[in-house]
Amino acid sequence: MFKVNRRDFMKLTGGAAVVGSVLGMPHIARAAGQKVVVIGGGPGGATAAKYLKMGNPGLDVTLIESGDSYVACFLSNEVLSGERTLESLTVGFDGLKKYGITVVKDTASAIDPAAKKVTTSGGKTFDYDRCVVSPGVEFNYEAVVGYSEAASHKAPHAWKAGPQTLLLRKQLEDMKDGGTFVIVAPPNPFRCPPGPYERAAQVAMYFKHKKPKSKIIILDPKDDFAKKGLFIKAWTSLYGYGTPDSMIKWVSGADGGKVDKIDMETLTVSAQTEDFKADVLNVIPPQKAGHIAHVADLVNEKGWCSVNKKTFESSKHPGVHIIGDASDATTMPKSAYSASSQAKVCAAAIIDLLAGKEPGDPSYVNTCYSIAGPDYGFSVAGVYTYDAEKNEIAGVKGAGGLTPVDASPEMLKREVGYAHSWLANIVADSWK
Amino acid sequence: MKIKMSLMALLGGMVFGGAALAEPTPAMLANACAGCHGTNGLSVGPTSPIISGMASEYFVAAMAAYKKGEWPSTIMGRIAKGYSDEQIKAMGDFFAKQPFVRAAQKNDAAKAKTGAKLHEEYCEKCHEKGGSAGEDAGVLAGQWMPYLEHAMEDYTSGKRPMTKKMQKQVDQLVQDHKHAGVEALVNFYGSAK
C-alpha cells in the first residue's frame, strides 16, 4: 500500500496555509499571548511548562502549584536507608521562572472547560486556551480497612516524598533491633511500580548494618511486580532471601498477602492467612488520579483520566490535557520519566494545536532505576510510538526491557552511577 | 480547527488510503533523551555523557554500535534499538547543533598536568586541540570524567572495539604508563575549562 507521511502530504498539497485557504478556512498562526495554564509542579507539569516555553516563547504559560518547592519521590527510598537527605531531592521553581513562566503558589480548585477557566482556592481565576493537568495520584485510604489519612501519621505511606518520608525514616531509626517492618504494597496500577520492592531493599541495607536482627515483610495483593526477577536476585545475594535467615519476606497474593484489615492501635495487619504485628508499618494505599482530576470531571470509572495518547487531551473535556500518573496511558509505567516524556509530547501537541496545525507524531521514552544495595542498581527502559488505530502508546518491539539478570557486578555498579546521573538530569530537565 | 483536521484526515484517507507513517520531528525524538542526557543533550552529569555538540557522524556510529551490542552499555543498547537509522540520523543532526558546554568538575591538577603531556604524545594527532575537536570522535575536553573512565575501562579491557590506529596508541599508553596514564588523561580532559 502506498503510504505517505504528514510532511510529504503537506508538500504534496502545498502546505497548511494553502490547504486552509483552498478549503475556505484561512489559517494563520495566532498572535502571541495564547494562554496555557499548567496545574501541578511535579515532573509532568514542570516539564510541560518548560517545554511549552522552549517550543514557543510567545505563549503565556502559568504554572499553578501549591508548594514552595517540589520534593521528588524518585530515589526517596534512599532517604529511608539514610543514604540521602530529603533536601537533595527538593527543587524550587525559580528555574522555571527564568523561562518566563508565571509560577502561582495556589491550589487549583475547579476547571470550567466550557468557559476555559481555572479557579483556585485562593480565589483567583485564570483564562486559558489550553490547560494541562498533572496532579499525580491521590490515595484511596479507606480501601484498606482500618487505615485512613489520619492513620498515615502513625503508619506513614511515604508515597509522596516530604514529611511522610522523614516520619518513616525516624520510625525506622527508633525501631529496636529485632523489630519487624511491614510494607503493605498496593494493587496495580500505582505510582512507581518497583518502588515498594526497592524500599524493602533499601531498608534492608540499613538494617543489615544497624539492626541486623530485624525483618522486613512485604504483604502484596499481587503475584508479580516490576523487575521481580532482578529484585529476587538482589534480595538473595544481598539479604539472604530464600533462606530461613532472610531479612526480607515477600508474601504474594497467592500466598495470602492481600490485607483484609489493619488494627491501628496495635499495628497488626490481618492478611488473608495470617496476622502480622508490625513495629513500623508502611501502608501504600491503592491509588487514583489526583484530586483536581476528580473535581473537574476528568476521570473514568476506574478513577484515572482517559486521554488521546497523541495529545493527552481529555476524552471528556476538550482543551484540557492530562499527563503523568493521573492519565490512563498505562502502557507506560507511572514514573517520573514517563510523566516528563508525556509532558514533552503534550507540549509539542499544544504548540501545534494553538498554531492551527495537526500535531506531529509523538515519541516517548521511559527509563527507571532501582538501587537495591551498595553498587547494586538496575533499570528498565522503554521506547514507544503512537498507535493511531488503537489510540495506544505502543512499545517499539525489540527495544527497551530490563537489565539482564546475569549482568556483571561492574554493570550493576555502573547502573547506580547512572541512576544518580538520571536524578540530576531529570531534575535539571524538568525544573531548571 | 476540528473541521480542518478531520478534512485533512478525510483527504489523506481518500487520496492515499492508508495510515501515515510515524515520523516524529528531530526535536521530538531528541527531547526524549533529555531525562538522562540533559536538556538539549547538555548532561549535568556526572555519569551520563554530554551529547550536545557531538558530530552527527559520531552520534550515528555510536548509536549503531550500541544497537548492535558492539559497544558495551547498561541501558543505551536497549534504548538505541528503539530507533530507525533515519531517526538516529535526525537526532544526531539535532544534537550536533546544540552547544557543548564543558562540565565544571573536580579534578586532580597534578594528574591533569601529566595527562596534558600524555595527550600530546598519544592522542592529539586524532583528538585534536586538546580533545576539543570532535569531527569523527566524541568531544573529550570538558566531558564528564566518570563517563570517560567507563569508556577507557571498556577500551582497555577489550570490551569496546577501537580503530587499529587507536588500539596501537592505547596499548602503548597502557604499556608505558599503566592505569595511572589513563587516570591522568581523564583528569586532563576533566580539567578543561
Pairing between β-strand A376-387 and β-strand A392-395 as defined by DSSP bridges: antiparallel
Instruction: Set out the domains of chain A in order of their start, with CATH numbers.
Output: 6-138+287-431 (3.50.50.60), 142-283 (3.50.50.60)
- Measured between beta carbons, the chain A residues lying within 8 angstroms of B21 are 3-5
Q: Any CB–CB contact under 8 A between B47 and chain A?
A: yes
Q: Which residue of A has its CA nearest to B82?
A: A399
Q: Report the alpha-carbon distance of residue A411 to residue A432 in Å, rounded.
A: 30
B72 preceded by cis ω (within 30°)? Answer: no
**B116/chain A closest Cα distance in angstroms:** 27
Rounded distance between C-alpha atoms, residue A356 and residue A27, angstroms: 7
> Domain B22-97 adopts which CATH fold?
Cytochrome Bc1 Complex; Chain D, domain 2 (1.10.760)
What nine digits make up the cell of B106?
Answer: 573536580
**Cell numbers found for residue A15:** 502546505
Residue A311 sits at the chain B interface (C-beta within 8 Å): no
Chain B residues 90-129 with a CB less than 8 Å from chain A? none
Residues in chain B predicted with pLDDT less than 70, given as ranges, are: 1-21, 134
Q: Are B191 and B140 in contact (CB under 8 A)?
A: no
Please report, in tens digits, the pLDDT of each residue of chain A (432 residues total): 344 444 443 343 333 333 333 343 444 444 558 999 999 999 999 999 999 999 999 999 999 999 999 999 999 999 999 999 999 999 999 999 999 999 999 999 999 999 999 999 999 999 999 999 999 999 999 999 999 999 999 999 999 999 999 999 999 999 999 999 999 999 999 999 999 999 999 999 999 999 999 999 999 999 999 999 999 999 999 999 999 999 999 999 999 999 999 999 999 999 998 999 999 999 999 999 999 999 999 999 999 999 999 999 999 999 999 999 999 999 999 999 999 999 999 999 999 999 999 999 999 999 999 999 999 999 999 999 999 999 999 999 999 999 999 999 999 999 999 999 999 999 999 999
Q: Which of B27, B36, B87 sits opposite A425 (nearest CB)?
A: B36
Q: Tell me phi and psi for residue A119, to 5 degrees.
A: -110, 145
pLDDT at position B138, please? 87
Residue A74 grid coordinates: 524518585
Residue A367 to residue B75, Cβ atoms within 8 A: yes
Answer yes or no: do A425 and B1 touch at CB < 8 A: no
Query: What are A366's strand-pairing partners?
Result: A382
Complex-level ipTM: 0.90
How far apart CA B35 and CA B23 sit, in angstroms, is 21
Q: Which residues of chain B are in CATH 1.10.760.10 domains? A: 22-97, 109-190
Q: What is the pLDDT of residue B133?
A: 78
pLDDT in tens, A91-126: 999 999 999 999 999 999 999 999 999 999 999 999
Residue B35: closest CA among chain A residues belongs to which residue? Answer: A426
B36 and A428 in contact by Cβ < 8 A? no
What pLDDT is stored for residue B137 in this prediction? 84
A340 touches chain B (CB under 8 A): yes
Cis peptide before A196 (omega within 30 of 0): no
Rounded alpha-carbon distances, angstroms, from residue A251 to A200, A220, A244, A257, B20: 13, 6, 14, 5, 48
Task: Give the pairing of strands A125-127 and A117-120.
Answer: antiparallel
* Shortest distance, CA B17 to any CA of chain A (angstroms): 8
Q: Which of B190, B192, B165 is nearest to B47 (CA)?
A: B190
**B-chain residues near A403 (CB < 8 A):** 74-75
3 state DSSP class of B129: helix
B75–chain A Cβ distance below 8 A for any pair: yes
**Which of A2, A7, A420 has its CB closest to that of B23?**
A7
Least CB–CB distance from A3: residue in B18, B32, B81: B18
Given CB atoms, is A99 within the 8 Å cutoff of chain B? no
> Using CB atoms and an 8 Å cut-off, which of residues 362-391 of chain A contact chain B?
362-365, 367, 379, 381-386, 388-389
Please tell me the CATH superfamily of domain B109-190, with its number: Cytochrome c-like domain (1.10.760.10)
Q: Measuring CA to CA, which residue among A249, A192, A248, A247 is closest to residue A225?
A: A192
| Residue A26, pLDDT score | 40
Helices marked H in A125-280: 163-174, 195-210, 228-239
Whether A180 and A277 have beta carbons less than 8 Å apart is answered as: yes
Q: pTM of the entire structure? A: 0.91
Q: What one-letter code names the amino acid at A260?
A: D
In this predicted model, what pLDDT tens digit does every residue of A262-293 receive, in sequence order?
999 999 999 998 999 999 999 999 999 999 99
Question: Which residues 137-196 of A have a C-beta within 8 angstroms of B?
Answer: none
* pLDDT (tens digit per residue) in B59-101: 999 999 999 999 999 999 999 999 999 999 999 999 999 999 9
